[in-house]
């Protein structure tokens, strides 16, 4: 009996230990960096493995030293320094401005910029009109005598059909300050949106119906011409983003809702943009990005962002916007719905997703090793990070570190002896051997107990 009780007790202990480890799955990754001889500020970026195993708001992240003690850190989005081109526009202040109607119904506009003005990168014809289409040719000249054609563009507004408008022209690089614009057929005919309907009655019955559409000859009014320049600026207050791999993607056309559904699965990486890949042209479609929020018996669907994807490739028009930006989101499943209505579905071949890189920044002591632990259901820590924040706010630049490729299972804040015992006990081969031995001992004890019961029964029968 003592063998049975002891075996059951040991098996229960092993089971409870295994359950405890299973409920608090914790991993640790070594933070690798060059040896240090003085205190340094280190920055270790997170990767997909950390995103997949960590809590939604990273409450479970811990930086541990070689003794297993927690080290204060700051979690931030990794910054990036990039060169961007900023467009600056202004009302044209030309020293000379001439207008000349042309025999063919067009209009010639000659503009001369000041010699001190920067070379323009483009111009805009500001007009209050809607629903128009105008062809514009642009010439430039160094002295006003010889004019060279530099660009031909189509200006349009298709508000009657969709929210699409183009009133800008990009200019090639030139040192000229004299420009001539030829606007073709500035008086265009436009059908009225109203129709005049005449009905003739004879004896109470309708005998004749006449429909008349009014045509308005409308001039192409130009309020002003604006030139813009593009200047390169370096900005450091931006966030470094990377492309994250998509685990699985399915693309299907939903005839009932007249939509194309792009369903893709991730590993909880932080995403801020999705770009569709397609060879189709000349479209503008509304899109909706949805996710499933966990919690409750049934997951709740939530709209993350709505927007529009566009691509126009017609004559001199070349414009596309296939990317949807949205607030940072960490989910495993996303649904991108593209609204087709009665148009043919887009042939979407894939997607590209991007998002920021998070990193832990902490003060590292010389000759000390550190690990990043994650994967537990823990409350968010509260550290004194004033020194780290002050260093980041000044001129200090953290030294780049990286996480080791292999994650080692780690008990929840174990002591050194407990850690050694936990590691020894979590060896699967050793644990299996112990279970086999204990089961055999338990079986032997049960067999001996059964024999004793039989012997006692035989003795009682003889008595």
- Please indicate whether residue 51 or residue 413 has the higher confidence score (pLDDT): 51
Instruction: Find the farthest-apart pair of alpha carbons in the chain and give their distance in angstroms, rounded.
Output: 138
13-17, 209-213, 255-259: which is most confident = 255-259
Better-scored residue on pLDDT, 426 or 114: 114
What percentage of the chain has pLDDT greater than the value 70? 72
**How high is the pLDDT of residue 119?**
85
Residue 197 has pLDDT above 60, yes or no: no
The 3-class SS string of the chain reads CHHHHHHHHHHHHHHHHHHHHHHCCCEEEEEECCCCCCCEEEEEECCHHHHHHCCCCCCCCEEEECCCCEECCEEEECEEEEEEEEEEEEECCCCEEEEEECCCCCEEEEEECCCCCCCCCEEEEECCCCCEEEEEEEEEECCCCCCEEEEEEEEEECCCCCCCEECEEECCCCCCCEEEEEECCCEEEEEEEEEEEEEEEECCEEEEEEEEEEEEEEECCCCEEEEEEEEEEEEEEEECEEEECCCEEEEEEECCCCEEEEEEECCCCCEEEEEEEECCCCEEEEEEEEEEECCCCCCEEEEEEEEEEEEEEECCEEEEECEEEEEEECCCEEEEEEECCCCCCCCEEEEEEEEECEEEEEEECCCCCEEEEECCCCCCCCCCCHHHHHHHHCCCCCEECEECCCCEECCCCCCHHHHHHHHHHCCHHHHHHHHHHHHHHHHHHHHHHHHHHHHHHHHHHHC
pLDDT at 400: 94
> Mean pLDDT of all residues in the chain?
82
Q: Which has more pLDDT, 215 or 355?
A: 355
pLDDT digits (tens, 9 = 90+) for 316-338: 678 899 999 999 999 999 999 99
Q: What is the pLDDT of residues 225-280, one digit of tens each?
A: 888 887 766 665 678 999 999 999 999 999 999 999 999 999 999 999 999 999 99
Of the CATH numbers 2.60.120.260, 3.30.450.40, 3.30.70.20, 1.10.10.10, which one belongs to the domain with range 241-356?
2.60.120.260
pLDDT of residue 4: 52
Above 90 in pLDDT, residue 81?
A: no
The model's pLDDT over 271-297, given as tens digits with 9 standing for 90+, comes to: 999 999 999 999 999 999 999 887 666
Name the least confident of 149-158, 165-174, 234-243: 234-243
Q: What percent of the chain has pLDDT over 90?
A: 47
Query: What's this model's pTM, rounded to 2 decimal places?
Result: 0.64
Confidence at residue 19, expressed as pLDDT on a 0 to 100 scale: 44
* pLDDT at position 317: 74
Say if residue 426's pLDDT is above 70: no
Q: Do domains 86-232 and 241-356 have the same CATH topology?
A: yes
pLDDT of residue 22: 39
Determine how many CB atoms are found less than 10 A away from the CB of residue 100.
11
For residue 228, the model assigns a pLDDT of: 84
Q: What is the pLDDT of residues 408-420, one digit of tens each?
A: 776 544 434 444 4
What are the structural domain ranges in the chain? 2-80+358-430, 86-232, 241-356
Q: Write down the pLDDT at residue 457.
A: 60
The model's pLDDT over 138-147, given as tens digits with 9 standing for 90+, comes to 999 998 889 9
Question: What would the pLDDT profile of 93-135 be if each residue is shown by its tens digit?
Answer: 666 788 898 888 889 999 998 888 888 888 999 999 988 889 9
pLDDT band at 223 (very low <50, low <70, confident <90, very high): confident
pLDDT band at 70 (very low <50, low <70, confident <90, very high): very high
Say yes or no to pLDDT of 356 above 90: yes
What is residue 435's predicted lDDT score, i.e. its pLDDT?
73
Yes or no: is domain 86-232 CATH 2.60.40? no
């Amino acid at each position: 009996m003592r063998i049975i009780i002891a075996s059951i007790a040991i098996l229960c202990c092993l089971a409870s230990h295994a359950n405890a480890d299973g409920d608090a799955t914790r991993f640790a990754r070594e933070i690798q960096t060059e040896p240090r001889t003085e205190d340094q500020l280190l920055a270790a970026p997170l990767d997909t493995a950390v995103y997949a195993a960590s809590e939604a708001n990273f409450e479970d992240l811990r930086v541990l030293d070689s003794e297993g003690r927690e080290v204060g850190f700051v979690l931030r989005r990794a910054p990036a320094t990039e060169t961007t081109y900023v467009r600056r526009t202004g009302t044209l202040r030309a020293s000379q401005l001439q207008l000349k109607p042309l025999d063919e119904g067009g209009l010639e506009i000659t503009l001369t910029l000041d010699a001190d003005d920067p070379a323009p990168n483009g111009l805009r014809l500001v007009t209050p009109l809607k629903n128009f289409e105008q062809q514009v040719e642009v010439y430039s000249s160094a002295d006003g005598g010889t004019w060279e054609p530099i660009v031909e563009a189509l200006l349009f507004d298709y508000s009657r059909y969709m929210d699409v408008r183009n009133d800008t022209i990009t200019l090639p690089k030139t040192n000229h300050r004299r420009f001539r614009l030829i606007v073709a057929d500035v008086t265009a005919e436009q059908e009225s949106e109203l129709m005049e309907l005449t009905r003739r009655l004879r004896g109470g019955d309708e005998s004749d119906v006449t429909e008349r559409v009014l045509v308005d000859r409308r001039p192409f009014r130009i309020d002003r011409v604006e030139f813009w320049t593009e200047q390169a600026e370096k900005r450091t207050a931006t966030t470094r983003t990377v492309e994250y791999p998509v685990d699985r993607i399915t693309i299907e056309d939903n005839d009932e809702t007249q939509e194309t559904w792009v369903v893709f699965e991730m590993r909880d990486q932080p995403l801020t943009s999705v770009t569709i890949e397609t060879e189709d042209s000349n479209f503008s479609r509304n899109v909706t990005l949805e996710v499933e929020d966990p919690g409750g018996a049934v997951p709740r669907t939530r709209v993350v962002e709505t927007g529009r994807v566009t691509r126009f490739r017609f004559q001199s028009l070349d414009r596309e916007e296939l990317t949807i930006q949205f607030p940072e989101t960490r989910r495993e499943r996303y649904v991108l719905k593209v609204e087709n209505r009665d148009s043919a579905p887009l042939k979407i071949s894939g997607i590209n997703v991007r998002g920021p890189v998070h990193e832990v920044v902490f003060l590292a002591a010389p000759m000390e090793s550190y690990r990043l632990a994650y994967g537990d259901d823990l409350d968010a820590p509260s550290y004194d990070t004033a020194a780290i924040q002050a260093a980041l706010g000044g001129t200090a630049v953290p030294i780049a570190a990286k996480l080791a490729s292999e994650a080692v299972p780690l008990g929840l804040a174990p002591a050194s002896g407990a850690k050694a015992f936990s590691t020894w006990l979590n060896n699967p081969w050793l644990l299996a051997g112990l279970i086999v031995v204990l089961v055999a001992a338990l079986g032997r004890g049960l067999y001996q107990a059964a024999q004793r019961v039989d012997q006692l029964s035989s003795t009682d029968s003889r008595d």
